Amino acid sequence: MRLVVQRVKNAKVTVDNEITGQIEQGYLVLLGVAPTDTKETADYLVQKLIKLRIFTDENDKMNLSLKDINGELLVVSQFTLYADCTGGNRPSFINAAKPDLANELYEYFMEQCRKEGIKTQHGTFGAHMEVELLNNGPVTIILEK
């Protein structure tokens, strides 16, 4: 599983001109699933994500977590995070999980974030989405297991 985590002041995702998810301060998370990923993989990354200390404290040091600031999550499924561009100019996506597994783990990941008390919004799995964000920093972190 691969996460691209962007610290944002706000973010939203739109499908067919309708907002499907919108947050204020927190993380926009682009989530890719590999064929070998499991619920245990997701559990590990949920804990890593919510404990990641990349919000600034009173001394302007990255020292606060999502929970510390009562932040929100916008999670967007993105199989293109597993693009392989080594064999030419057209990416191959054979390293991405099949849609059934990817959607199952995407939904599970968000459920686990909610169980941790994090307000979690989302995009629409498999849809063409427009994602808007105001990156704060900018701070972008890649988490993978």
**Could you tell me the pTM of the whole model?**
0.95
Q: Domain locations in the chain?
A: 2-137
Domain 2-137: top CATH class: alpha beta
- State the DSSP H helix or E strand holding residue 12, giving kind and residue range, or none if neither: strand 2-15
DSSP single-letter state for residue 106 = H
d(CA 15, CA 67): 28
Instruction: Check if 80 is active-site.
Output: yes
pLDDT tens readout for residues 88-125 = 899 999 999 999 999 999 999 999 999 999 999 999 99
pLDDT attached to residue 55: 98
pLDDT attached to residue 111: 98
Which one from 80, 86, 124, 140 is the annotated catalytic residue?
Answer: 80
Give me the DSSP letters along 37-51: --HHHHHHHHHHHHH
Q: Could you tell me the sign of the dihedral formed by the alpha carbons of 30, 122, 124, 38, in that order?
A: positive
